[in-house]
């Protein structure tokens, strides 16, 4: 399968199964205390302290262009390096963060990690690669949040077009007109705006109708195994046409098999993301792939 990908992809594939740090341990949905593993009070103290002391790291997952296999974007994904429980994925702590009213602080934290990554890549001559961050519509709704980001990017000398806000929604948007207006502000400031996880949850066709997203990402629940599932493939294919029809680019999430990458190319998806292409990993590891240096060299 290497021939289908670019140099960066080939370099990275050789590293799979090496010593590369990868997601393990505490995956899944719900919070850890649901499992009875951690007493809720202790968990809350840990979450609050992680926010206050920058305990949430950002790992990065590559998104490649289907036309040449090269990395076009890195998605910043939070990982909590817990002193006792190891690497903890967001499915385990996001709901706690939301319940505790800390989601804005957490999103700000991820934005800083994203800008740090952009600064580092630019310093190494890779200014063509964007970084995307998951941003709840509620966070995006604050003009203050978005304007502060534009100021921070300008201070670092990074054009706003290098940062992609991946709008995520875990509840129906409360006010469509306001959401459309927020999107206009974001676009006017020059940021890229993507819709995350389209086809699941509350990111709806109504938003696609009214908001000029730069990119729409089709949820991995639709993409997974779709290359061998006629119904799924029909849906994904129709969504690709629909998304192109409204002038956005399409990213297929959850590409785990070569046959799914083949399908992405065949049906004209613009970009692909998933374990086949690369798992989320620390920035240093992704940079090794970008510069084409094998880990440990
Ligand atoms: O909602 P969003 O698309 O931002 O979710 C990203 C999450 O999806 C990350 O936690 C990442 O680990 C996971 N992920 C990324 N690629 C794949 C994949 O190919 N398969 C599966 N099962 N999960 C993936
Ligand atoms: Mn995302």
End-to-end CA distance of the chain: give it in Å, rounded. Answer: 24
CA-derived radius of gyration, the chain: 19
Task: Give the nearest ligand 1 atom to 61 CA.
Answer: 15
| 280 CA to centre of ligand 2 in angstroms | 12
Alpha-carbon dihedral 111, 112, 114, 119, rounded to 10 degrees: 140
Q: What is the pTM of this model?
A: 0.88
Q: What tokens were used for 132?
A: 């995307």
Query: Angle between the 143-156 and 103-123 helix axes, to the nearest 10 degrees?
Result: 20
Q: What tokens were used for 232?
A: 């799924």
| 194 CA to centre of ligand 2 in angstroms | 9
DSSP string spanning 199-227? TSTT--HHHHHH---SEEEEPHHHHTTGG
Q: Residues 195, 216: contact at Cβ < 8 Å?
A: yes
- Which residues contact ligand 1 via a Cβ below 6 A? 23, 61, 77, 89, 134, 196-197, 220, 253-256, 274-275, 280
Place of tokens 């006629």: 230
142-to-31, 145, 154, 161, 162 alpha-carbon distances in Å = 27, 5, 19, 19, 20
Place of tokens 């070569």: 258
Question: Which of 274, 276, 277, 281 is the pocket-test mutation for ligand 1 (most atoms within 8 Å of CB)?
Answer: 274
How far is CA 184 from its chain centroid? 21
165-to-29, 83, 213 alpha-carbon distances in Å = 23, 30, 10
Q: Residues 267, 240: contact at Cβ < 8 Å?
A: yes
Q: What residues sit around ligand 2, an ion, with C-beta below 5 angstroms?
A: 134, 166, 196
Place of tokens 């699941």: 200
pLDDT < 50 regions, the chain:
1-36, 295
pLDDT digits (tens, 9 = 90+) for 19-45: 444 444 344 444 444 444 555 666 777
List helix spans (H) across 124-219. Answer: 137-140, 143-156, 176-188, 205-210
Which ligand has its closest atom nearest to the C-alpha of 132? Answer: 2
Up-side HSE of residue 62: CA atoms within 13 Å toward CB? 27
């Amino acid at each position: 399968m290497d021939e289908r990908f670019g140099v960066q992809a080939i370099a990275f594939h050789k590293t799979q199964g090496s010593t590369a740090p990868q997601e393990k341990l505490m995956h899944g949905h719900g919070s850890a205390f649901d499992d009875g593993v951690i007493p809720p009070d202790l968990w809350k103290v840990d979450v609050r302290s992680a926010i206050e002391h920058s305990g949430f790291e950002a790992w990065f997952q590559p998104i490649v262009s289907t036309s040449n296999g090269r990395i076009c974007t890195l998605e910043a994904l939070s990982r909590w390096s817990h002193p006792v429980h190891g690497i903890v994925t967001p499915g385990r702590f996001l709901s706690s963060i939301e319940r505790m009213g800390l989601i804005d602080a957490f999103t700000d934290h991820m934005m800083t990690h994203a800008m740090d990554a952009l600064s580092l890549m630019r310093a190494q001559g890779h200014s063509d690669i964007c970084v995307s961050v998951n941003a709840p519509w509620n966070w995006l709704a604050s003009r203050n949040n978005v304007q502060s980001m534009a100021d921070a990017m300008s201070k670092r000398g990074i054009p706003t077009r290098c940062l992609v806000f991946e709008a995520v929604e875990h509840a129906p948007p409360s006010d469509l007109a306001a959401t459309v207006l927020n999107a206009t502000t974001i676009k006017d400031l020059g940021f890229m705006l993507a819709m995350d996880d389209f086809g699941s949850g509350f990111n709806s066709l109504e938003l696609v109708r009214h908001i000029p997203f730069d990119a729409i990402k089709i949820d991995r629940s639709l993409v997974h195994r779709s290359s061998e599932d006629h119904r799924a493939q029909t849906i994904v294919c129709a969504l690709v046409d629909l998304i192109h029809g409204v002038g956005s680019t399409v990213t297929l999430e959850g590409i785990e098999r070569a046959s799914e990458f083949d399908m992405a190319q065949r049906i004209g998806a613009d970009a692909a993301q998933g374990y086949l292409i690369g798992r989320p990993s620390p920035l240093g590891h992704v940079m090794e792939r970008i510069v084409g240096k094998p880990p440990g060299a």
